[in-house]
């Protein structure tokens, strides 16, 4: 079977035809030079890296895994060489601040490159995105001295970054962390404590690792309000930004043996009076860290979508070649002993479900990334504020819904291959294992759903949703006279109305019973995700009606998109009704069982 191939035609169609990326970037001075030609060049070069460099070492990396000995982690064969080539290409600094050696590219562009990297080699991609997120937090919240000292080397890829939040007793409830930071006379801090599940906490890819660590001062307020963020280098750095060679009392205690992403080092990290430097203000560490978290959560949705794309490519090729049985409508290949399994309706159901959700998930990820760009770069403060509010609503849905659909797509692809999907050599069983983690880390999908329902919907009294609905309504109003969209607009309007009704229902019930929030949360996240996917398909179908062959999209390609979109509208959208019914059922049947009855 052929290896992963970046879906360049799909990517270009979304960026150019659906979202008008060039016009969007032109509206923001800091991204104004990013035109279609530059976008195409960057995306095509990224495709070469992912296809030719990352994909070939993916399966071997999974089988070999990371090795841990005497506190040091060794990555699998080929990873160091691949990382060196990755850094030589300038990829670590793609979205970095130009003031410190970065390239200043928009997140919308880097997001699609992340998807390709996750599709080709999820373990490798994780080393890169942690550095990107850490660099972003530092650039937005760090002091000038810290930025000048650390950012250039991180943008070069010579130093990497990690995010150290979780402790054995403190996962989602970070207010329970015990890592302590004691002030030193020179203005730095001595950090002591242990962190678990630290992606890229130790490895051999870079000469230094810069840890971003949540900790509390001895006299800090209790709970989340007492958390501060600190930059802690693995090896100490002098005033000129050069490593001294002196250890900073940061040690890896062990690495986890995992279901998937085995070439990504997941570490237990121990800090023993390690020197750290405050990032942002004291006791405001969560706000600084969540700058990074929004970008990392977007990445987890991209991981699900990337692995779904990889699985779809394998499954679609297999279905076109595997001969089994005859088509229900009659023999299709008389010269063969059987027809390819692609003729069977149930195989088509799986493949079309995969593709319909992949295209919509990619579009939703780009849509969310565009809001991140607007919130960061747009010259109009009101536009930035609205985009930031939309980001807070979209990110938990994008993370959870895309990673859920991504995992399901990997399982469907495995099912298409039957017994071959269960054995190692085909690669699909690895995709299933690698995709599963995206639903768990950076906040489990259940936590994302609770955040969406509780903080972003009930606490705001539905105001954030209204911003999204307003944007949806503006789009549908602008396209209400498009004859080719009428049936699809009706389907969307019905689902949108159902979402608003469910929102009102939960808001009302939550006044008397707070359990209604959690009881509705996952189905509500799924419903909003489905409606957003429908909205994305509306935008795609609108673009297909105006796309011309001279734009580089042949009629057969466009016709294929239309048919996949129609499948989504008629075969997948009906689920909105069952999700609404689940939400309407309320909390009683969930909460009535006594604890001892479980």
CA distance 535 to 545: 16
Centroid of chain to Cα 563: 27
CA distance 216 to 228: 6
Supply angle C-alpha 550, 553, 555, rounded to 5.
95
What residues are paired with 393 via a beta bridge?
none
Q: Report the 10 Å Cβ neighbour count for 549.
A: 11
Nearest Cα to 534, choosing from 588, 590, 475?
475
Nearest Cα to 123, choosing from 164, 83, 159, 72?
83
Nearest Cα to 325, choosing from 341, 346, 348, 349?
341
442 flagged as catalytic: yes
What residues are paired with 269 via a beta bridge?
195, 252
Three-class DSSP labels, 140-203: HHCCHHHHHHHHHHHHHCCEEEEEECCECCECCCHHHCCCEEEECCCCCEEEEEEEEEEECCCC
Residue from 17, 115, 442, 516 carrying the catalytic annotation: 442
What residues are paired with 228 via a beta bridge?
215
CA distance 441 to 448: 11
DSSP of 492-539, one letter per residue?
HHHHHHHHHHHHHHHHHHHTT-THHHHHHHHHHHHHHHHHHHHHHHHH
Centroid of chain to Cα 55: 19
Look at the chain and count its residues: 598
CA distance 264 to 266: 6
Centroid of chain to Cα 65: 23
Q: How far apart are the first and last CA of the chain?
A: 47
CA distance 48 to 493: 41
What residues are paired with 216 via a beta bridge?
180
What residues are paired with 278 via a beta bridge?
230
**Which H helix or E strand runs over 210?**
strand 208-215
Q: What is the DSSP letter of 331?
A: -
- The dihedrals phi and psi of 463, each to the nearest 5 degrees, come to -70, -35
Pairing mode, if any, of strands 159-164 and 67-69? unpaired
* Both tokens assigned to 385: 């504020």
Is there a contact between 279 and 141 (Cβ–Cβ < 8 Å)? yes
| Residues labelled catalytic | 442
């Amino acid at each position: 079977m052929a290896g992963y191939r970046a879906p360049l035609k799909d990517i270009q169609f979304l960026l150019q035809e659906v979202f008008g990326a060039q016009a969007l970037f032109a509206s923001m001075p800091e991204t104004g030079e990013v035109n279609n030609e530059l976008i195409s060049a960057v995306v095509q070069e990224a495709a070469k890296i992912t296809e030719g460099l990352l994909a070939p070492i993916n399966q071997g990396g999974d089988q070999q895994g990371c090795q841990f000995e005497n506190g040091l982690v060794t990555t699998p064969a080929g990873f160091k060489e691949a990382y060196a080539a990755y850094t030589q290409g300038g990829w670590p600094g793609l979205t970095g601040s130009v003031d410190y050696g970065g390239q200043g590219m928009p997140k919308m562009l880097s997001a699609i490159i992340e998807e390709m990297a996750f599709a080709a080699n999820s373990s490798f991609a994780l080393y890169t995105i942690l550095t990107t997120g850490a660099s972003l937090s530092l650039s937005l919240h760090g002091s000038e001295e810290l930025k000048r000292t650390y950012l250039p080397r991180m943008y070069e890829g010579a130093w990497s970054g990690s995010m150290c939040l979780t402790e054995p007793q403190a996962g989602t409830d970070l207010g329970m962390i015990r890592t302590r930071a004691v002030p030193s006379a020179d203005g730095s801090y001595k950090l002591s404590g242990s962190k678990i599940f630290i992606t890229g906490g130790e490895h051999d890819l870079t000469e230094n690792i810069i840890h971003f660590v949540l900790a509390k001062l001895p006299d800090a307020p209790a709970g989340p309000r007492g958390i501060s963020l600190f930059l802690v280098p693995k090896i100490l750095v002098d005033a000129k930004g050069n490593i001294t060679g002196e250890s900073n009392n940061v040690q890896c205690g062990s690495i986890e043996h995992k279901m998937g992403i085995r070439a990504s080092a997941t570490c237990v990290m121990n800090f023993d009076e390690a020197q750290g430097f405050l990032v942002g203000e004291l006791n405001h560490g969560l706000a600084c860290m969540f700058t990074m978290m929004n970008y990392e959560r977007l990445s987890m949705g991209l991981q699900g979508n990337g692995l779904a794309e990889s699985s779809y490519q394998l499954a679609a090729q297999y279905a076109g070649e595997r001969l089994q049985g005859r088509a229900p409508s009659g023999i299709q290949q008389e010269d063969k002993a059987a027809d390819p399994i692609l003729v069977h309706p149930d195989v088509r159901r799986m493949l079309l479900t995969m593709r319909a959700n992949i295209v919509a998930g990619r579009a939703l990820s780009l849509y969310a990334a565009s809001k991140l760009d607007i919130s960061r770069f747009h010259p109009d403060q009101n536009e930035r504020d609205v985009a930031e509010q939309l980001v807070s609503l979209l990110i938990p849905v994008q993370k959870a819904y895309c990673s859920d659909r991504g995992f399901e797509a990997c399982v469907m692809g495995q099912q298409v291959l039957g017994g071959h999907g269960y054995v190692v050599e085909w690669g699909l069983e690895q995709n299933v294992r690698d995709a599963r983690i995206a639903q768990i880390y950076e906040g489990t999908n259940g936590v994302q759903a609770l955040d969406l329902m509780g903080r972003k919907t009930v606490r705001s009294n539905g105001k954030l949703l209204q911003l999204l609905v307003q944007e949806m309504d503006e789009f549908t109003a602008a396209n209400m006279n498009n004859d080719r969209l009428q049936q699809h607009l009706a389907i969307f309007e019905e689902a949108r109305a159902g979402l608003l009704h469910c929102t009102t229902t939960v808001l009302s019930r939550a006044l008397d019973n707070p359990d209604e929030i959690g009881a509705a949360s996952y189905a509500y996240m799924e419903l909003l995700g489905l409606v957003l996917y429908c909205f994305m398909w509306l935008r795609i179908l609108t673009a297909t009606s105006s796309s011309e062959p001279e734009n580089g999209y042949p009629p057969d390609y466009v016709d294929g998109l239309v048919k996949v979109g129609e499948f989504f509208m008629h075969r997948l959208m009906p689920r909105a009704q069952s999700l609404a019914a689940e939400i309407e059922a309320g909390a009683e049947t969930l909460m009535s069982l006594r604890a001892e009855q479980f």
